Amino acid sequence: MLMTRNYFGFIPGYALFWGVFAIALLLFAYRIRQLLQYMFLGQKETGYKSWGKWISTTFAYVFSQLCQLKNFRFKKDRAPLGHALMAWGFFVFVLFYFFFFILAQGFGFAGLENTGFFYYFAWVMDFMAVFIIIGAGWGLIRRFIIRPARLKGGQTIEAFIILLSVFTHPFAFLFNQATVIAMGEAPAGLGHTILPPFSSWLSHLFTGSALTVIQNWHIAFFWTDWLTVLLVLVYIPYSRYLHVIASIFNGIFEPRLPKGALKPIDLEHAEFLGIPTIDKLTWKQNLDLYACVVCGNCQEQCPAFTTGKPLNPKKVIQDLKKQLLIAGPDLVKAKAKGEPAPENVNVTLAGKVILEDEIWACTTCGACDTTCPVWVKHIDKIVDLRRNLVEQSILPETAKATLQSIERRGHPWRGTTLNRTDWAKGMNIKTLAEDPKVDILYWVGCTEALDERGIKIAQSFAKLMQQAGVNFGILGTEESCCGDPARRLGDEMTYQAQAQKNIEVLKGYNVKKIVTGCPHCYNTIKNEYPQFEGNFEVIHHTELIGDLLKQGKIKIGKGDYGSITFHDPCYLGRHNDIYRQPREILKELPGTKMVEMEKNRKRAFCCGGGGGRLWLEERIGQRISENRIDQVISTKAQLVATACPYCLQMFEDAIKTKQAQDTLKVKDIAELIAESSAK
């Protein structure tokens, strides 16, 4: 039944249909244009390629709702399922409105309603309407009654309007269909014998009513249905509904970088470092701000937020978005006139919009980026804010001293009495200067070479390689800090100087393959040195130990460590997806039982040492490492194994502070296997 063929007073249905549609589209387009203008105030982005792969992956994630369902946990968080139900319903509804409202009602393709296609679609829609009601009803209850911590601050009028519109709209649809059935104009196909169950059931409410009454109800529901759709359309760009569009583009335009890598700055030509003001974000960083749906997943996973620091990744994104929307109109006007950005609105971000304590609290652990369902990147913005602070020399004293140490001595351990080869004394380990013809370079890293506790990892791993007959060498005094702490503390200049110096040395010895026990060195050399034409095959020591065990070149002796839990280092796990190898190695230890912490693998909790934080004071809130050690203690494990010298050091301190030395030990996997194979 075509509503658009009716007259409403003297107004033809067509005019009403297209009139309100045109107004809605104009309001929608007006705001989208504004948002695009603000977005493209941003700086250029480069490096886009492999379009097919990114488009197909994004659509696969969105349509399957894996982007949400990856966070589903049956006992802890079922909200992603609610979102998936709403989203699947939304996709089907969009198709329905295209075919049966725009084409059928708008363009008069009345025949569409008399096809088997319509019949089957009506069935699917019937179920989808119920899915959406369940999903949105669940969302309303969670957000406004249960109020989980991660939605704190998100119970806004906006969220209410969105959920209410999503919740009520399917009712209008179902009643619209019910009146059609009650009028005896049920969807065609299969001889009208089996009708869509929910709308069919609702049609009984009209039994006994006169046809004209039902027709009037039908008109009312049809227009309620259509007007709700148009209201939602208009509300999309004015609210966080925007994520339904922005998130798809955000996925497609994800930076083509390895997961753990930061973008380099072209220091020779850069007019500014990092993001001093909102117009200095790139357009893709602005798109991130539009995509955020304020779900709070990042907040929930953030170790800094969890331990009471002022940093909340969700708030960082929302604060930047607010600033973009505030400054946007004046910046667009100034740009159009070719005038400089007005300083009263284009305020300094670091210290004003995002506070310094927020900026320095980040460990760059990647929990936020990994959990975000809409591909928002937080670390790049936080490091960009640090870059700007460093440019102005506004940084904590300890960070300053660390950076100076890297610059002057080539390592961040300013108080160390060791030199780079002390750990190898008496071990008969050659340097590449002595013999460059090795199969693999052992990149020791500053912490395993220069920290009293860290050197035990280097010694253990070197012994394992010697036992297995690996032909390896070290750089010795020619090795210098890989630059990870400098880059993540925001000092891109020092980082690039370190990277270039190291690449030159490595190329000088024609190094092809590198093994390291430090996930930070691993990530930097593997994922970031290619930005400076340093291309090497890099493996982590857990990968090499695992291979040597499989080949029988390392023999496991006794184990008997009792109960062991494994802590996933962020730069090994989340940033580089190495989860399996460490666990496989630990399972080889006889007499040892592996227990998992609740927060493991992708959801692992940071040790607190990444992002240069190993060298900064942790003044606010609980120490992140102590929180993680509490998680270890709750497993009743006697030993926490790790595969990173930063984690090891953080946990040694935390165990001492908690006076748990008698019941809990921390060891690197290399130490455990070396001990076991020596027995």
Residues that bind ligand SF4 (CB under 6 A): 292-298, 301-304, 311, 313-314, 317, 362-368, 371-372, 374, 376, 378-379
Nearer to ligand SF4 by C-beta: 297 or 402?
297
Residue among 455, 477, 567, 578 nearest 527 (CA): 578
CA-based radius of gyration for the chain: 30
N-term to C-term CA, the chain: 84
Shortest distance, CB of residue 571 to ligand SF4, whole angstroms? 11
Whichever of 170 and 313 has its CB closer to ligand SF4, that residue is 313
Taking the complex as a whole, the smallest distance from the CB of residue 655 to ligand SF4 amounts, in Å, to 22
Q: Which is nearer to ligand SF4, 372 or 464 (CB)?
A: 372
Residue 402 structure tokens: 């660390």
Judged by CB, which is closer to ligand SF4: 463, or 567? 567
Neighbours of 99 (CB within 10 A): 16
Q: Name, in order, each residue with C-beta under 8 angstroms of 279's C-beta and a sequence gap of 6 or more.
A: 41, 42, 327, 331, 341, 346
Beta carbon of residue 302, minimum distance to ligand SF4 (angstroms, whole number):
3
Q: Is 71 exposed, middle or buried (0-12, 13-18, 19+ CB in 10 A)?
A: buried
Q: Smaller CB distance to ligand SF4: residue 309 or 665?
A: 309
Determine the distance from the C-alpha atom of residue 121 to the mean position of all C-alpha atoms in its chain, rounded to a whole number: 36
Contact 288, 324 (CB under 8 A): no
CB 368, min distance to ligand SF4, A: 3
Which pair of tokens denotes residue 666? 């921390």
Closest approach of ligand SF4 to the CB of residue 357, in Å: 13
Contacts of 355 (CB under 8 A, 6+ apart): 310
Partners of 537 in beta bridges: 513
Cβ closer to ligand SF4: 331 or 614? Answer: 614
DSSP 106-155: IT--GGGGGSHHHHHHHHHHHHHHHHHHHHHHHHHHIIIII--GGGTT--
Smallest gap, in angstroms, from Cβ of residue 354 to ligand SF4? 11
User: What's the closest the beta carbon of residue 248 comes to ligand SF4, in angstroms?
Assistant: 13
Residue 3 Cα to chain centre, angstroms: 46
Closer of 303 and 476 to ligand SF4 (Cβ): 303
Three-state DSSP class for residue 442: strand
CA distance 624 to 636: 19
Give me the least distance between CB of 150 and ligand SF4, in Å please. 8
CB of 611 to ligand SF4, least distance (A): 7
Q: Which is nearer to ligand SF4, 468 or 604 (CB)?
A: 604
When the beta carbons of 523 and 676 are compared against ligand SF4, the nearer one is 523
Burial 201-215 (b: 16+ CB within 10 A, else e): ebbeebeeeeeeebb
